[in-house]
Amino acid sequence: MKVIRVSALQAELPYVGGEYRWGRGEILSIALSTVIVVETDAGLAGYGECCPIGSNYLAAYPEGIVPALARVAPAVVGLDPREVHSVERAMDRALKGHPYVKAAIDAACWDILGKACSLPVYTLLGGKLTDGAPVYRVVTQKPVREVLADIQGFRERGYRQFQIKVGADYQRDIDTILAVADMLEPGENAYADANTGWTVNEAVKVCHAVRDTSMMIKQPCPTYEECLHVRQRSQLPSKLDECVTDIKVAERIVQDQAAEVVCLKLSNLGGLTKARRVRDYFVDHGISVVAEDTWGGEISSAAVAHFAASTPQDLLYNTTDLHNYVDGSTGTPAPRAEGGRLYASDMPGLGVEPNYDALSRVLVAYT
């Protein structure tokens, strides 16, 4: 089996809440997601999706997905997509960095591998170790009363874990964290996500002011070194996200005891192949992981669902149902999300096909 064509389509994904606010001044209303289609000479096709948003993820890739695809896609044509490690190495040789476009191609290859074997991707990743991954819901930056109202609304929809976006004004963030901690019910969990928005000084002040809440602090500062500085001066549990980019960072986190939880974004790591490697390293060292991605529709959610399902339940902190954040669509059917849990499809591959009615014409294609 050989890859004969790699093509890209796009879809606009409006945020269901109007404006998604996070970090220090980041605002999202509509995201542009890219769907990658990998076709083979055996008649099988696989699908992946990448949708990086905000300066945290796009700063290093201002030219976007398509120019990177021009270097990576030709390196994949002619390869056997079932040999995912060969594809991984070919992409890395063709272009350094740019994990987002690589992640979408990688997911498409896993999709083909699953279809060729008549197995769901979670089985190929090691088996279903979690049947129904707990899902968190993001509460964006808003006045405190609106944050509390959003939590109540999500609670009524079955969510029990809440990611509270902070990072724009550390003094206001303190009030938000204290109010959220006070309203949590038994069995619920919330954590404060600064998305790199605080300075070291601000982060230390926040951690000191909310120390009695035991609320986890997520990626307070831009760099790993800054986050470690804050970690060493706080008694609160720590979660790292944007700085978790490869196995070398994972090794540092373990060695420095820098976090209790790490967020593994498929697009930030370069795809399922690399993410599984990093995930298994953390699991071997007893560190809990979050299975997620930067943004996206049903195809992104499907990959995340399989990644979460193949993670040991006791070390899967939570996951996310990305397709429920957007009004647009990239694929069908969506992975099942109900009762605050996300379920991977039992169909061969990722279990999702592109929604061509919602996707634009083919942007580029390589044969």
Instruction: List, for residues 183-229, the tens digit of each pLDDT value.
Output: 999 999 999 999 999 999 999 999 999 999 999 999 999 999 999 99
Of the listed 102, 115, 165, 239, which one is catalytic? Answer: 165
Percent of the chain beyond pLDDT 70? 97
Residues 254 and 128 reside in one and the same domain: yes
Q: Considering only CA atoms, give the Rg of the chain.
A: 20
Residues 103 and 144 reside in one and the same domain: no
Residues 190 and 146 reside in one and the same domain: yes
Q: Is 357 a residue whose pLDDT tops 60?
A: yes
CB 168 within 8 A of CB 197: yes
Structure token pair of residue 267? 């697009």
Taking only the tens place, the pLDDT of each residue in 16-32 is 999 999 999 899 999 99
Residues 235 and 154 reside in one and the same domain: yes
Structure token pair of residue 274? 């690399």
Buried b (16+ CB within 10 A) or exposed e, 251-273: eebbeeebbbbbbbbbbbbbbbb
Question: Where does residue 194 fall: left (phi above 0), alpha (psi -120 to 50 degrees), or beta otherwise?
Answer: alpha
Cα–Cα distance list, 40 to 45, 112, 278, 301, 303 (Å): 6, 9, 29, 24, 20
Which residue in 199, 234, 215 sits closest to 163, CA to CA? 215
Taking only the tens place, the pLDDT of each residue in 131-181 is 999 999 999 999 999 999 999 999 999 999 999 999 999 999 999 999 999
Residues 71 and 129 reside in one and the same domain: no
The structure tokens 């993410």 sit at 275
Q: Please give the pLDDT value at position 263.
A: 98
Q: Is 218 a catalytic residue?
A: no
CB 220 within 8 A of CB 208: no
Residues 243 and 204 reside in one and the same domain: yes
Cα–Cα distance list, 27 to 15, 86, 326 (Å): 11, 38, 15
Residues 68 and 206 reside in one and the same domain: no
Residues 21 and 88 reside in one and the same domain: yes
Q: Is 265 a catalytic residue?
A: yes
Residues 72 and 201 reside in one and the same domain: no
Structure token pair of residue 145? 């009363």
CATH (domain of 39): 3.30.390.10
Residues 320 and 211 reside in one and the same domain: yes
310-321 mean pLDDT: 98
Report the chain's mean pLDDT, rounded to a whole number.
95
Q: In degrees, to the nearest 5, what angle opens at C-alpha 125 toward C-alphas 124 and 131?
A: 100
Q: Which residues pair with 26 in a beta bridge?
A: 22
Q: Please give the pLDDT value at position 59.
A: 41
Q: In degrees, to the nearest 5, what angle opens at C-alpha 47 toward C-alphas 46 and 50?
A: 150
Which residue in 327, 326, 324, 319 sits closest to 343, CA to CA? 319
Residues 244 and 277 reside in one and the same domain: yes
Give the three-class secondary structure for 218.
Answer: strand
Domain tally for the chain? Answer: 2
Q: Please give the pLDDT value at position 55.
A: 56
Q: Please give the pLDDT value at position 284.
A: 98
Domain housing 335: 123-350
**What distance lies between CA 142 and its chain's CA centroid?**
23
Which residue in 133, 131, 193 sits closest to 162, CA to CA? 193
Structure token pair of residue 301? 């959610």
Taking only the tens place, the pLDDT of each residue in 39-68 is 999 999 999 999 988 655 454 444 568 889
Taking only the tens place, the pLDDT of each residue in 242-257 is 999 999 999 999 999 9
Which residue in 300, 283, 294 sits closest to 337, CA to CA? 300
CATH (domain of 192): 3.20.20.120
Q: Is 325 a residue whose pLDDT tops 60?
A: yes
Residues 73 and 162 reside in one and the same domain: no
Alpha helices per DSSP H over the chain: 54-58, 65-76, 84-94, 99-117, 121-124, 144-156, 170-183, 200-209, 224-231, 247-256, 266-269, 272-284, 298-309
CB 39 within 8 A of CB 3: yes
Of the listed 102, 218, 239, 265, which one is catalytic? Answer: 265
